Structure 1
Amino acid sequence: MDPRARPDTLLLAAGWWSGSGVARGALAIHRGKMAPAAWTTALRIDLRDHLVFPGLINAHEHLHINAVPPLRSGAPFPNSYAWIDAFQAHFAEPSVIAALARPMALRLRHGALKNLLAGTTCVVHHDPWHTSLDDPDFPVALLRDFEWSYALAGPNYGPPVCASFAATPPDRPWMIHLAEGTDAVARAELAELDRLGCLAANSVLVHGVGLSARDIERVIAGGAAVVWCPGSNRALLGHTLDPRRLCEAGRLLLGSDSRLSGERDLLEELRLALDRYGLTPAQLLDLATRDATRILGLPGRGRLSPGAYADLLIVEDRGGDPVRNLLGLTRSEIRAVVRDGVPRIADPDFAYWFAAFGIDTVPVTLDGRPKLIDRRLADGALLALEPGLAAGATASAPCFAVAGAR
């Protein structure tokens, strides 16, 4: 992309989710970040029949294993360690061998693209860092400057628990899979973590299915948080935690896990959680936006206020409850996903927006619907990994209303 072609300022005439309701007017983007809507010289785009939401934040992912075929038998398992043991024989399957033989950079990029297609623009990757994650055109933003361990027991994988926790500054998150099960092993893990001195206000515990009501109060009292992955929990364990108390206390996040055990993406997690676990649509959306911003230390994400990154999810305004409508969408119904103020994947009638920023596009279909995608995300090997995404002719469509700089 030629940076000289990029407009400094963009004004979107739209409704947008303010966190408590829909505001309407001019939503301003200046040099890739949200800005006060006081600009007189800008590219203007009429989205008055649309709603704009902040890009979603996925608080738990393993980006590199989304194309690995899942284990199809044995569930429900008593805990994740039993699932790991059962998976060992699965490694000998030719399809698994082939999936793991692909270059790591491609596998990571695929996991990121999977997230982006469903409106997730920032991800927590719970695995070793890889140099490809620093590529300037990596599809999503990532949580950085944090530490992690894999789990208290199980495989000898990842940084040691106590050393990793001790290396984490108190103002940065420390992540660990914990209490991922329904048996006595899982139920005992919070007490063991506390005994090790690793339960603190920056501890972010992933899954937490085995936490008792007393354990949950202990987590809240210590200022820690839990990442809820209901799809993965149901698939592996046949059960998930009751999210209401942690949500009420503001100590809950939402993650998709990978497709190896979880749902297709975070949007699918939100859709399946709607009306199922006692949380309102607005509470569910907060888990993947405002709550994630606060708990993970991501002040530039998950909001549309001035200074935030212009990572946006644009949908049609269908009337009624805007958040309920959003959470009921499939990924192909999203009109556009925007990162740093520019579209990355969008419906064909958003072609002018791409062109205004000098972004070359490739026509694709997403779950049978025509889209345009940033050419930098359209490598053939990458597209081939994602079910439902294929290169193809995109039907022409009239451009939405655009006013040039004036």
Structure 2
Amino acid sequence: MIILRNVEILGGPGVRDVIIEGQRIREIVSSAPGGDPEIAFGGALAFPGLINSHDHLEFDCYEQLGGGPYRDYIEWGDAIHRRHAVAIAAVEAVPRALRVRAGIAKNLLCGVTSVAHHGPDPACAGAPIHVIGGTRTIHSPRLGRLRAMLVPERRLVVAHVGEGVGIEAEREIDTFIRWNVWRKKLIGVHAIAMRADQAERFAGLVWCPVSNEFLFGCTAPIARLKKHAAILFGTDSTLTAPWNIWDHLRRAREHGALTDDELIAALTTNAALVWNVSNRGYIAAGAAADIVVARKRHDDQREAFFAINPEDILLVMTNGVIVLLDAALRTQLGAGANLFPAVVNGVEKFAAENYLELARTLRSFLPSIPVPIAANG
């Protein structure tokens, strides 16, 4: 048992104590009795672990590549392989397992506790965050294996759809829908060229505004599409977007297509529901103990939430286990906590994985990596 003492829960009134027992939240009280291990936060902001609904974990060692805007993902792919062949070869020479670890680090350091990886099985058993599984991923209607849609199974099907501008990008969504003869539950990623009637055929749409704008100079018509499908939020990989999900959220907020509460739901409750990630995405008694606590830099909760950066994160917990802790709080834990020092954007943290060693190893292959983990303490 451990108590997270004196936290202000996003969406709730006042300061509370959150009692964790095993993998779940046992109860939330005004003042928990002493006697159990605890960490005191002095009124910091607590919220559910974020759910990043789109990433390519093995591509998170890339710097952004491209010089768009492009017509679609086909044009972009052709362009970067012509112009950046050397850079691509350098990253692909890094063992895939290391690149996947970098992708997991990128997410954890930002307060993501569940991530939907798009692509082949990332083989990351034992990772400090959840990698959402049990889905069938298809790259896209033009590059994916659409025959997989004909397999009579109940798995979620996830694909890039409408990733571009113009009639061809719109029509490929119709093609994808026609292949769904078994009426499977579909999640569409990007949806820039999507019509409202097409959106109705999807359980969820993943909005990646920063990646979209970098590649195509525009993003999905989310204000219209949200009336027809649940909206989720994704970063995409560092190949097309910076590593810090909080910068993505601030950009999404500037669009005004979602209210603050809708944008928060896209990372929490909506995402948990669409991905069938049970008991996650909220903080309440009985829920899975996937919790983030961050410094509160504004009196208003929502302003404080959208002002967060990775340096502000004080704690990340998954299934009741602390996987990231700010150095200022380290002395409140007993000596038994198995955490490694890490320096992120110049701020000392402790993490469940040895990210100093990971950064050193990655930099032995690449001159720089996009996630700012120091290679020395």
| Counterparts of 1:259 and 1:130, CA distance in 2 | 16
Q: How many angstroms does 1:295 deviate by? A: 0.8
Mapped contact 1:55–1:313 kept (Cα < 8 A): yes
What does residue 209 of structure 1 align with?
192
How far 1:37 sits from its partner (Å)? 4.2
Pairing of 1:5-404 with structure 2 (within 5 A): 9-17=1-9, 20-22=11-13, 24-37=15-28, 42-73=36-67, 75-90=68-83, 92-93=85-86, 95-131=87-123, 133-134=124-125, 136=126, 138-154=127-143, 160-164=145-149, 166-169=151-154, 172-197=155-180, 200=183, 202-211=185-194, 215-220=195-200, 222=201, 224-249=203-228, 251-355=230-334, 357-362=336-341, 364-380=342-358, 381=360, 384=363, 385-393=369-377
- String of CA shifts for 1:81-105, please: whole Å, max 9, x gaps: 1111112224521x32121111111
SS at match of 1:303: coil
Shift of 1:325: 1.5
Are the counterparts in 1 of residues 356 and 374 from structure 2 also a CA contact under 8 Å? no
Runs of 4+ in 1 over 6 A off after TM superposition: none
How many aligned residue pairs are there? Answer: 368
Q: After superposition, give the CA deviation of every residue in 1:274-312 in whole Å (9 maximum; x if it has no partner).
A: 232332222111100010001111113222223333222
User: Do 1:113 and 1:140's aligned partners in 2 also have CA atoms closer than 8 Å?
Assistant: no
Determine if contact 2:244/2:310 at 8 Å carries over to the other structure.
no
Partners of 2:224 and 2:94 in 1: CA distance = 42
Distance 1:187 1:339, change over 3 A: same
Where in structure 2 are there 5+ consecutive unaligned residues? 364-368
Structure-2 change in CA distance of 1:79 and 1:101 (3 Å): same
State the distance in 2 between where 1:262 and 1:92 align: 19
Tell me which amino acid in the other structure corresponds to 2:348.
P
Q: Is the 8 A contact 2:152 2:182 kept in 1?
A: no
Shift of 1:206: 0.6
| Alpha-carbon distance change, 70 to 392 in structure 1, aligned in 2, over 3 angstroms | closer
Relative to 1, partners in 2 of residues 1:319 and 1:235: Cα closer, same or farther, differing over 3 Å?
Answer: closer
Task: Tell me, in whole angstroms, the C-alpha distance in 2 between the residues paired with 1:165 and 1:357.
Answer: 51
Distance of 2:279 and 2:361 partners within structure 1: 28
After TM superposition, give the deviation of residue 348 of structure 1 in Å. 1.4
Deviation, structure 1 residue 23: 5.3
Whether the aligned pair in 2 keeps the contact of 1:253 and 1:292 (CA below 8 Å) is yes
Q: Secondary structure at the match of 1:274?
A: helix
Q: 1:283 to 1:17 in 2, by over 3 A?
A: farther
CA RMSD after TM alignment: 2.4
Q: Distance in 1 between matches of 2:119 and 2:139?
A: 8
Q: Percent identity?
A: 25
Contact 2:66 2:80 in 1 (8 A): no
* Counterparts of 1:104 and 1:270, CA distance in 2: 28
Alpha-carbon distance between aligned partners in 1 of 2:299 and 2:197, rounded to the nearest angstrom: 36
Counterpart code for 1:53: F
1:3-51 CA-to-partner distances (Å, cap 9, x unmatched) read xxxxxx1122233435x43453221111132222487652233224212
Matches of 1:72 and 1:190 in 2, distance apart?
A: 24
- The answer as to whether partners of 2:150 and 2:179 remain within 8 angstroms in 1 is no
Q: 1:152 offset after TM fit, Å?
A: 0.8
SS of 2:85 mapped into structure 1: coil
Retained in 1: the 8 A contact 2:356–2:373? no
Judge conservation of contact 2:71–2:216 (CA < 8 Å) in 1: yes
Query: Which stretches in structure 1 are left out of the alignment for 5+ residues?
Result: 1-8, 394-406
The 1:72/1:189 distance shift into structure 2, 3 A limit, reads: closer
TM-score, length of structure 2 as denominator length: 0.89
Residues 23 and 301 (structure 1), Cα distance of their counterparts in 2 relative to 1, 3 Å cut: farther
The superposition leaves residues 218-242 of structure 1 with CA deviations (integer Å, 9 ceiling, x where unpaired) of 423x353211110111011111012
Paired with 1:55 and 1:382, the residues of 2 have a C-alpha distance of: 28
Deviations 1:184-206 (A, max 9, x none): 11011222122223594610011
Aligned mates of 2:129, 2:140 — CA distance in 1: 26
The answer on whether the counterparts of 2:325 and 2:351 sit within 8 Å (CA) in structure 1 is yes
TM (norm. structure 1) is 0.83
- Matched residue type, 2:172: E
Change (3 A) 1:141 1:262: same
